[in-house]
C-alpha cells in the first residue's frame, strides 16, 4: 500500500506531498527522538489499554502540534518511510485516536510528527515492553 493510501486509511487528509520545502530532514528528526538518552513524555504498557492511553494523550499533543489550520507533518514508520519523507496532513475527524488508527493500518502505533514551523516534534514509538510518546523542541 502506498504511503498516501496508508495516510488516508489513518483518517488523515494530505494537504501537500513530499518533498516539503523547508522541513527538517527526516533523519535529523529521527535522531532527536531515538537513542539512549531519550526519555518518554508518556509511557504506557504494550497492550490494548496502553494504546488507549496513547490515544488520550494524542488529542492534547495534537493541539500543541497542529497549525491554526490543523495541519502538521507526519512520517509513518516502515520500510522506505525516510526516503518518502514528510507528508503535510490534517485530521479528517476528531484527532482522538491517531495512535490506534495508525496501528490498525501499519500494525503498530509508530509515527513521527512535526509542526509546520519545524519547532515541535512528537514521535510515537514501540519499545520492548512499552509504547512511548517522545517529544523534542528544536530551537
pLDDT in tens, the chain (139 residues): 588 999 999 999 999 988 898 999 999 998 888 877 889 999 999 999 999 999 999 888 888 899 999 999 999 998 888 889 999 999 987 767 899 999 999 999 999 999 999 999 999 999 999 999 999 999 8
pLDDT at 1: 57
All three cell numbers of 61, joined, read: 499533543
pTM for this entry: 0.93
Strands 120-126 and 12-16: unpaired
Contact 74, 112 (CB under 8 A): yes
Cell of 57: 494523550
Q: Report pLDDT for 62.
A: 87
Domain boundaries in the chain?
3-137
Amino acid at each position: 500500500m502506498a504511503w498516501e493510501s496508508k495516510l488516508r486509511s489513518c483518517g488523515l487528509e494530505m494537504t501537500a506531498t513530499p518533498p516539503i520545502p523547508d522541513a527538517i530532514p527526516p533523519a535529523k528528526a529521527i535522531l532527536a527522538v531515538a537513542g539512549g538518552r531519550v526519555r518518554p513524555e508518556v509511557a504506557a504498557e504494550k497492550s490494548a489499554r496502553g494504546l488507549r492511553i496513547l490515544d488520550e494523550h494524542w488529542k492534547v499533543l495534537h493541539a500543541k502540534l497542529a497549525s491554526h489550520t490543523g495541519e502538521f507533518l507526519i512520517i509513518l514508520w516502515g520500510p522506505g518511510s525516510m526516503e518518502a519523507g514528510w507528508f503535510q496532513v490534517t485530521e479528517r475527524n476528531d484527532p482522538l485516536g491517531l495512535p490506534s488508527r495508525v496501528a490498525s493500518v501499519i500494525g503498530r502505533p509508530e509515527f513521527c510528527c512535526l509542526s509546520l514551523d519545524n519547532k515541535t516534534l512528537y514521535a510515537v514509538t514501540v519499545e520492548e515492553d512499552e509504547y512511548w510518546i517522545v517529544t523534542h523542541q528544536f530551537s
